[in-house]
Structure 1
Amino acid sequence: MRYYSHDGLTFDVSDDGPTDGELVVLLHGWPQDRTAWDKVTPHLTSAGLRVIAPDLRGYSPGARPGNHLDYEITQMVGDVVALLDEVGAERAHVVGHDWGGALAWAIAAREPDRVDTLTVLSTPSPSGMAQGFRAGDQHKHSWYMAIFALPVVPVLFFRLFAQQILERIGMPRERAAHDARRLKTPGAAEGTFAWYRAALSPTLWWRKRRAKGAPRRSVHRRTIPTAYVWGAKDPAFGEVSTTATVEQLRRRAGDQPGLAITRELQTGHWLMETHPETIAEVVLERIGTPVDESAA
């Protein structure tokens, strides 16, 4: 499998490992693409897993809507569900980093029956982030999002200085050069920053507020075995946000502590590039835990 289509868009994917292996879906973050997982994937395929890594909405050349309103998180959840449908998989082990981590949390919340296990790198859970803003200093770590959500300005700036900025925030030079080259291609930078514009969009905020008042159907929610790995020196996330996420996972696990794996690494944000073996070990450990079918 090299591509699939959803919502009128075409997504590029990498598909490695045995086709009859358990399916792992890897979701990249900003400003990367599916090749961010290149050092992790061989460890997973050698364990007999089928690993699919898509270029997400805004990153695949054939999946770059021009309107930032087309980047609401629910639409991206639909993109990943469509990928599972295309493969013919009822469920998958979902792994995400950065924005891909935020997407992974959203998939588990909105489509729990499609997730075998969940592994999130760096990004705290939504409730963890909320706690970080309320009781911690997450606003000091997230101020850049307002800049990234501006039209035109961040696109022009990163076309000129992407490699220097990425290296300055800890991305290895080779990877920074790769992503900087890609951001200079037509439409590439616009698609990556559309995620930020959507996240801070007043229009989408109003839609969500109205949706909260709508009646909701009862949904049986499984307790999904989850792993959370983060870097203690990550400039994007505060300590309260990560600590609150850990506490949340442990509460959900209850008397089955094996349902929650948490690991702090003494490093920064780019976990797959700097600690690929460790990340693969955590994913394999998480996959090795049986799924609990009881309601959360």
Structure 2
Amino acid sequence: MNTSAGRSVGADSAHPFVEAVEIPAGDWVFTARVAGPAHGRPVLFLHGFPQTSASWTAQLLGLARAGRRAIAFDQRGYSPGARPPQESAYGRDELVGDVLAVLDALGLDRVDLVGHDWGGALAWQVAGLHPDRLRTLTVVSTPHPIALTSAVRDEASGQRERSAYIRLFRTRGAAEDKLMADDAAYLRAIFATLPAETAERYLSVLREPGALTGALNWYRAIDPKVLRDIGDIETPTLYVWSDRDPAFCRPAAEATAGSVTGPYRFEVLKGVDHWIPENGAAALTGLLLAHLAAFDDR
């Protein structure tokens, strides 16, 4: 395997121990952050909306200290070299294809996969469709799509109300205007519990030409029926949910166990909001390291 593949562009601007690289994969070039020894067991991280690979900085550093090779890339719409304008370019097959293309570019037959928010939804898809490419799966915040769909249909769960924002995000043009109005007040409110400099870092990317539309196209292009057709997950799975997450309800989180047939661990972080990789960093990193160690022989 060649986890050092990619063009180094120096140290990450926010942390000298994280390397900034570019990964040519398929038709695109993805910007990425990498930490840890090149020979270490590779772990690939998928970020969510509306963040970037920088959201995983604490986990990259924690895994690097443990001898793992931690790789987080800015996904389609977020990387300047992977920002197609067409809504149709953000379908399930295209997004899954990006993950596989990055693995191939890095020379990785199999990887430990970690995803949060939309990255978590994508991680479920990769695990369901291409289990042969994974050693383990870790999903943060996002329930399995079947559990999430069931919760939306159950009025008592409250998930329908939690997901109401998606209607706005799927509205072409109006969503961009709303999210960026008044110096991006809507997005700043989403990031309210994060440090101001962290929010600014994400906003600086979303202000780039085509970036916010690309990020919103994840919502516009994905067919919920397609998301549900992946079947049960056989890969050893860690699912981490937090009890102050406004986006995903407890019934959906608890029901996720019904869609995993392989080894499964469900952990609830108390008093943590949706931004687990940052606001629950130490707990998440500890859980992730234990999960990886439990399956080092795979």
- What TM-score range do you get, normalising by the shorter chain? 0.7 to 0.9
TM-score (norm. length: structure 2) = 0.85
Could you tell me which residue of structure 1 aligns to residue 266 of structure 2? Answer: 262
2:59 and 2:168 map into 1 onto residues whose CA distance is 31
Match 1:272 to one of 277, 280, 287: 277
Could you tell me which residue of structure 2 aligns to residue 141 of structure 1? Answer: 162
TM-score (norm. length: structure 1) = 0.85
1:239 and 1:21 map into 2 onto residues whose CA distance is 35
One-letter code aligned to 1:242: A
Shift of 1:156: 2.0
One-letter code aligned to 1:265: L
Matched, 1:39 2:62: no
Could you tell me which residue of structure 2 aligns to residue 98 of structure 1? Answer: 117
Shift of 1:56: 0.3
Shift of 1:281: 0.9
Structure 2 gaps of 5+ residues are 1-5, 7-20
Superposed CA RMSD in Å reads: 2.3
Could you tell me which residue of structure 1 aligns to residue 218 of structure 2? Answer: 195
Matched, 1:151 2:156: no
Could you tell me which residue of structure 1 aligns to residue 201 of structure 2? Answer: 178
1:3 and 1:268 map into 2 onto residues whose CA distance is 31
One-letter code aligned to 2:86: N
Could you tell me which residue of structure 2 aligns to residue 226 of structure 1? Answer: 237
Match 2:128 to one of 97, 106, 109: 109
Could you tell me which residue of structure 1 aligns to residue 3 of structure 2? Answer: none
One-letter code aligned to 1:114: R
Shift of 1:222: 7.9
Could you tell me which residue of structure 2 aligns to residue 83 of structure 1? Answer: 102
Say whether the 8 Å CA contact 1:225–1:260 is kept in structure 2. yes
Residues 70-125 of structure 1, C-alpha deviation per residue, up to 9 Å, x if partnerless? 10122111111111111111100000000000010000001100011000000000
Say whether the 8 Å CA contact 2:180–2:186 is kept in structure 1. no
Could you tell me which residue of structure 1 aligns to residue 151 of structure 2? Answer: 132
Say whether the 8 Å CA contact 1:27–1:101 is kept in structure 2. yes
Shift of 1:137: 2.6
Residues 215-249 of structure 1, C-alpha deviation per residue, up to 9 Å, x if partnerless? xxxx9x98311001111111111222111113444
Alpha-carbon distance change, 92 to 161 in structure 1, aligned in 2, over 3 angstroms: farther
Shift of 1:193: 0.5
Shift of 1:14: 1.5
- SS at structure 1 position matched to 2:58: coil
One-letter code aligned to 1:9: W
Could you tell me which residue of structure 2 aligns to residue 215 of structure 1? Answer: none
2:171 and 2:41 map into 1 onto residues whose CA distance is 41
Say whether the 8 Å CA contact 1:159–1:189 is kept in structure 2. no
One-letter code aligned to 2:146: S
Shift of 1:134: 2.5
Shift of 1:274: 0.6
2:85 and 2:233 map into 1 onto residues whose CA distance is 36
Match 1:61 to one of 77, 80, 84: 80
Residues 262-286 of structure 1, C-alpha deviation per residue, up to 9 Å, x if partnerless? 1111211001111111111111111
One-letter code aligned to 2:212: A
Shift of 1:165: 3.0
Could you tell me which residue of structure 2 aligns to residue 5 of structure 1? Answer: 24
Match 1:288 to one of 276, 285, 293: 293
- SS at structure 2 position matched to 1:223: coil
Q: Report how many aligned residue pairs link the two structures.
A: 272
Shift of 1:167: 4.4
Query: Percent identity among equivalent residues?
Result: 35
Structure 1 gaps of 5+ residues are 213-218, 254-258
Alpha-carbon distance change, 182 to 160 in structure 1, aligned in 2, over 3 angstroms: farther
